[in-house]
Structure 1
């Protein structure tokens, strides 16, 4: 017991000088003004509010990779069961569509009708569905739904 107290007393004596600030440390502390003295309030970090994907809303494509698509009609709707459905310009499609955290977005394999269309319409539909399938992120910008991915960017306006 005495031996234990002896070691504890030695350790305490050795640690005491480390806990007492030196004159230089005390002067530095006295020279630095506090936030209150500077008039800068402590602010909490700004947290960006998580957006909610607009489930159940119908959307019409207005641009594909920055080019307007006024002469083509393509749509998308993601329902509460996370099923994406729509029209690609020639055929209807459906797929699993998952809004993820941090505005991520994943689209599963597409089920597509097999209607034949003219070459221009088929090319547009292929580009639209490729961009949709490759979507990784979504955002709502000025009331428009924007889907972005490696295959391109789709911009939608709310359908009636």
Structure 2
């Protein structure tokens, strides 16, 4: 027992100086200089762009498709509080899951569509409109207009009454 106590005491006596800072080490430890003292310019605080909220429950009327005005056709869109997109595509009504996501991303699920027959011009417009809508990846509000962009083009909407 004395022998064990002796070894423990001896280890404590030998290890203590290694764990305690010596005078030379203590003198070298100084606080880090500030950026101003070093002459390093501080970077300006990064301003994060405020996330926009998608206008759920608002009715919109399409005014342009891929930069071309839509004057002789009527197409609408509304995304409700349940994230259900509904509207009129020029000939048929449609509905689909529509998800406004973070960073102004947007996803539209498969479309359910009525099956009214229309003339060729109206059918072509409807196909282009629904293709652009289904391919939408980003949304934005620009000067009061809803802008949807995706791989199949860009749609712009005015707020409907």
* Shared fold per TM-score greater than 0.5: yes
Q: TM-score, normalised to structure 2's length? A: 0.79
Q: Match of 2:50?
A: 49
List gaps (5 residues or longer) in structure 1. none
SS at match of 2:74: coil
Distance 1:46 1:31 in 2: 26
- Which of the pair has more CA radius of gyration? 2
Answer with 4-13 or 42-51: which moved more: 4-13
Cα distance in 2 for residues equivalent to 1:30 and 1:138: 43
- 2: CA distance, partners of 1:74 / 1:19: 77
Change (3 A) 1:5 1:55: farther
Equivalent residue number for residue 143 of structure 1: 144
Corresponding residue number in structure 1 for 2:4: none
| Separation in structure 2 between the aligned mates of residue 44 and residue 110 of structure 1, nearest angstrom | 44
In structure 1, what is the equivalent of residue 76 of structure 2?
A: 75
CA-based RMSD of the aligned residues comes to 3.0
Figure out how many residues of one structure are paired with residues of the other and give that number. Answer: 151
Unpaired stretches in structure 2, ≥5 consecutive residues: 1-7
2-side partners of 1:117 and 1:30: how far apart? 72
